[in-house]
Structure 1
Amino acid sequence: MDTSAPQDALSRPLGRQVLVLALPALAQQYLHLVVQLSDQFLAGRFQVSDPAARVGYLSALNTAGYLYWFVSSYTVLVSVGSTALVARFVGARDFALANRAAGQSIVLAVVFGVVGAVAALVGLPDLIRALKLEGDAARVCVEFLTPLAALLAFQITESACAACLAGAGDTRTGLKVLGLVAVLNVPLAWGLCFGFGPFRGFGFIGIALGTGLSHVIGCITLLVILSRGRSGLKLHLANLVPDTGLIRRLLWVSVPAAIDSLSAAFCQLWFLSIVNRLGDTAASAHGIALRWEALGFLSGAAFGTAAMTLVGQNLGARTPDRAARSVWVAFAIGGGLMCCMGVLFVLLAEPMFKVFCPGADLQPIVDTGAPALRLIACAMPALASQIIFTAALRGAGDARVPVLFSWLGFLGVRIPLAYLMTAPQVDLGPLGTVRGADMGLLGAWVAMCADLWLRGTFFALRFASGKWKKIEV
């Protein structure tokens, strides 16, 4: 094992350090997006005789995408603590503890994965009904998510392994494995959906089955890589024996971050239920706009990974001022890239929608969703702030106060404003009714932008205060 490489990396210029970590993570995030866009592309071309049913499939995939996003929030129960602790131990050059933390992260991932899979398989139908999805769209959504739920433990373990490697300063291995996942996903999803040779395929659920199986392969590949030793980390069986002290330290960081992410995910599902009330056309347009908006969001997530790793390693090396500077550099580069994505949304919104909406029967989705995609461009700086500073604070172990920011943004701004902006009137119960803006999907995205600007400001101020420098994990 090369145990000097992570320490040598801390002496590089900050801009180079950020890019060395962020660019592979960015490619990794975009490979995730390729998987999602491939699924969306397949759904848009899934042939059914009734055009309305075709819109229903897109609506179902939108709701499924939100719930799959919920899975990403669930993985935070393991991934944030993994990156933060491994980075601290690597920064302090305690590689025995770094290896031990990686092993305990995998144990937690398997446990949370199994629990989450059982809960999802039992509760999916009731959850879909609560999200106001009805009829064939609801049935298709449950069928689509079932194989993903059954294979959830593999995806969470895959995420934990990649998080540990990122904490050690290795984002390239995760990129290579996610590249494998993306390359496998496309033929698997197409083949299992439409069939090949004498095999007729499973139809719409074959898309999800292909995605789930590709993550199984990715998980196994990462476990093999860790068992052979990479970036100062080497997985031994002895490190998989539960260590309550280390598990407690992992959860001390991860649980508040997971509460933040999961509460945000619940609020996102609430927000989705408001959008779903607007009908299948609005729901489909919302889902496609989110897929493209991910070009900006995932860029921020990649630079957030770099910020989290560098904060942890520099705090472990007792250089908090350098930790702060590295995050501001990550925000400057990542935020600039996200603003460039915003320009693309403004200029190319309609062509981007038409990629997934071929044919005149889907033109209403384009007309509904393109204005929303253009609108989100104005929130790219705020979204960059929220994502990158949140990741940096989590890397420092400061995950409790930010939960309050998320609750304020969603419950104080996004949700009530979404009701007000989307409907012709809002029923306040015993207080009567108030007139709404009746802006449809565009009104929902106005509420989203207002929330992002509020939270982006709060997270930037929290990081600038420097209180995170004194937190022990």
Structure 2
Amino acid sequence: METVEVRKDIIKIAWPAILEMTLHTLVWTVDTAMVGRLNPASISAVSLGAQIMFITMMILGAVGVGATALVARNIGAGDCRRAGKIGAQALSIGIFISVGVTIVGMIFAEDIFRLAVKDVAVVELGETYLRHVLIGGFFLIPFGVSNSILRGAGKTNYTLRAVLLANSFNIIGDYVLIFGKWSFPALGVKGAALATGIAQILGALTSLYYLFSGKSGIEIYFKDLFTIDKDILKKLVNLSIPAAFELTMNDGSRLLTAIWIAQLGTVQFAANSVAVAAESLSFMPGYGFAIAATTLMGQNLGAKNIDRAKESVAQAAKYAVVLMASVAFIFLTVPYFIMSFFTTDADTVALAAKCIRVGALEQVPIAIAMVISGALKGAGDTQGPFKISLATNLGVRLPLIFLIVFVFRLNIVFVWLATALQFMLEAVLMVIRYRREGWRLLELK
């Protein structure tokens, strides 16, 4: 009977998180498609500008990881007031960081793009994009942190609503402001930036409403934002710094890998890009069930129910594996059909299809690694996932890809084999870390 209840809790938390991730992917795709109607310089400027902003905000917003774990632990223990104080401290940190990042971005937008690209047109458009999108940049980290707090309370339905509102506005705003519809001027790149910036403001305000209205079950008050609790701050920082390093390692590794892959030639780089775009859709089940594992691990540990915590992780992993194994089967059987949706170039489709077939080998390991990583973080062990990410990126992914590209000069399929090996090792190391059960000794309250 308890297993049935655990499964209900998992589905209740996971499915809104999966839809939320789907919406993020959808808005990115639509945004790119609309800007793609302009010119190559605009595409490059918006793509690079969005990556710079979102990667920076994600890394600096890693305080949300610590907030999820601490809020979940206290919700499980029935201490909604302390959960509220933790949420307020996390929001205060997020607001402080956002102010700094926004100011720096506004002042140094041109310099940032000059470091990244040499094309004068891209630099000019990129500067315009970054300065206008940062109108909403102040709200981006608070938006992410408030959603993390809501996830800790198990309210992923509220984060879904906030993201749905923000992304719906983003898509409509893109159409109206980029092309000049409904009597609005055609603003091009500037319009794309304004649509994204305003969407972030709307999303953040919606999430904050759910937090401060009491609908989330967390007792958080506006005055808490201005009250410093050194004990809570210390715990948030200790949990969040390893998470920030993990994000930096993973995003940095992907960026460096993309730069190296570009050396293989246009067709191979294009094949890798479309294969990555297709595979990114497969991560959504893992993402959703990882959030469920994080939340339920924290809440059950707070309630001193170790058995239910472990059962939650086991069931979340099972769901993720089944769904992502199904995706692996599709990748193996109809890769050409899938790739034909992303490009019409025959050479690119053929090569990308081979990549995505190799990507099928990654699906189950990624499912396991994501859920176990989420469980460890929910228990307060953010150092474990960081150390494992550090080891697999520096010990496997980067050295192998460097050898493949620069020494043996093999094609892109071998790069995918290297990343598959990385994910397999990562899954094994995550399971080993989890089964040692050092997380049982962590006291977060």
Same fold (TM over 0.5): yes
Among 166, 169, 173, which residue is 2:154 paired with? 169
- Match of 2:358, as an amino acid? L
Range moving further from structure 2, 447-456 or 15-24: 447-456
Answering whether residue 237 of structure 2 is matched by residue 245 of structure 1, we say no
Partner residue of 2:55? Answer: 70
Distance (Å, rounded) in 2 between the aligned partners of 1:350 and 1:209? 37
Among 384, 388, 392, which residue is 2:367 paired with? 384
Partners of 2:68 and 2:152 within 8 A in 1:
yes
Deviation of 1:290 after TM superposition, in Å, equals 2.8
- 1:166-245 → structure 2 map (5 Å cutoff): 166-243=151-228, 244-245=230-231
- 1:417-432 → structure 2 map (5 Å cutoff): 417-422=400-405, 426=406
Q: Deviations over 1:65-88 (max 9, x none)?
A: 654552463155221111111111
Deviation of 1:25 after TM superposition, in Å, equals 1.1
User: Secondary structure of 2:313's match?
Assistant: helix
Range moving further from structure 2, 442-451 or 245-254: 442-451
Deviation of 1:457 after TM superposition, in Å, equals 1.4
What is the aligned length?
A: 442
User: Secondary structure of 2:94's match?
Assistant: helix
**TM-score, normalised on structure 1?**
0.84
Deviation of 1:19 after TM superposition, in Å, equals 0.8
C-alpha spacing 1:58/1:377, structure 2 compared with 1 (3 Å): farther
Deviation of 1:321 after TM superposition, in Å, equals 2.3
Partners of 1:131 and 1:276 within 8 A in 2:
no
C-alpha spacing 1:453/1:139, structure 2 compared with 1 (3 Å): farther
Q: Deviations over 1:211-265 (max 9, x none)?
A: 2221111101121222211131243122111322212121121111112122222
Partners of 1:73 and 1:265 within 8 A in 2:
no
Distance (Å, rounded) in 2 between the aligned partners of 1:166 and 1:81? 12
Distance (Å, rounded) in 2 between the aligned partners of 1:41 and 1:187? 13
- 1:89-100 → structure 2 map (5 Å cutoff): 89-100=74-85
Deviation of 1:166 after TM superposition, in Å, equals 1.1
Partner residue of 2:325? Answer: 339
Deviation of 1:437 after TM superposition, in Å, equals 3.4
Partner residue of 1:319? Answer: 305
Q: Which runs of 5+ in 2 are unaligned?
A: none
Partners of 2:136 and 2:196 within 8 A in 1:
no
Distance (Å, rounded) in 1 between the aligned partners of 2:349 and 2:111? 30
Answering whether residue 255 of structure 2 is matched by residue 264 of structure 1, we say no
Among 15, 25, 36, which residue is 1:33 paired with? 25
Partners of 1:85 and 1:312 within 8 A in 2:
yes
Partners of 1:84 and 1:396 within 8 A in 2:
yes
Q: Deviations over 1:262-307 (max 9, x none)?
A: 2222222222221333455554544443332222222211111100
Partners of 2:61 and 2:94 within 8 A in 1:
no
C-alpha spacing 1:85/1:113, structure 2 compared with 1 (3 Å): same
Partners of 2:243 and 2:383 within 8 A in 1:
yes
- Match of 2:94, as an amino acid? A
Q: Deviations over 1:130-168 (max 9, x none)?
A: 667867566655554444445323111111111111111
C-alpha spacing 1:280/1:297, structure 2 compared with 1 (3 Å): same
- 1:363-402 → structure 2 map (5 Å cutoff): 365-402=348-385
Among 89, 92, 96, which residue is 1:111 paired with? 96
Among 432, 438, 441, which residue is 1:467 paired with? 438
User: Secondary structure of 2:216's match?
Assistant: coil
Distance (Å, rounded) in 1 between the aligned partners of 2:63 and 2:205? 17
Range moving further from structure 2, 455-464 or 196-205: 196-205
CA-atom RMSD in angstroms: 2.8
User: Secondary structure of 2:218's match?
Assistant: coil
- Match of 1:22, as an amino acid? A
Answering whether residue 128 of structure 2 is matched by residue 160 of structure 1, we say no
Among 72, 84, 99, which residue is 1:87 paired with? 72
Partners of 1:59 and 1:284 within 8 A in 2:
no
Answering whether residue 386 of structure 2 is matched by residue 415 of structure 1, we say no
User: Secondary structure of 1:13's match?
Assistant: helix
Partner residue of 1:452? Answer: 423
C-alpha spacing 1:446/1:309, structure 2 compared with 1 (3 Å): same
Q: Deviations over 1:35-66 (max 9, x none)?
A: 1121232244x144xxxx4xx66566665565
Deviation of 1:119 after TM superposition, in Å, equals 4.1
C-alpha spacing 1:289/1:460, structure 2 compared with 1 (3 Å): same
Partner residue of 1:5? Answer: none
- Match of 1:16, as an amino acid? K
Partner residue of 1:4? Answer: none
- Match of 1:272, as an amino acid? A
Distance (Å, rounded) in 2 between the aligned partners of 1:456 and 1:438? 26
C-alpha spacing 1:367/1:19, structure 2 compared with 1 (3 Å): same
Partners of 1:65 and 1:287 within 8 A in 2:
no
C-alpha spacing 1:369/1:152, structure 2 compared with 1 (3 Å): farther
Q: Deviations over 1:314-362 (max 9, x none)?
A: 11111122211211110110121122223333455445445454xx6x6
Partner residue of 1:437? Answer: 409
Partners of 1:99 and 1:234 within 8 A in 2:
yes
- 1:136-151 → structure 2 map (5 Å cutoff): 143-151=128-136
User: Secondary structure of 1:36's match?
Assistant: helix
C-alpha spacing 1:61/1:300, structure 2 compared with 1 (3 Å): farther
Distance (Å, rounded) in 1 between the aligned partners of 2:192 and 2:278? 19
Distance (Å, rounded) in 2 between the aligned partners of 1:354 and 1:144? 31
**TM-score, normalised on structure 2?**
0.89
Distance (Å, rounded) in 2 between the aligned partners of 1:62 and 1:414? 25
C-alpha spacing 1:459/1:421, structure 2 compared with 1 (3 Å): same
Partner residue of 2:9? Answer: 17
Range moving further from structure 2, 233-242 or 385-394: 233-242
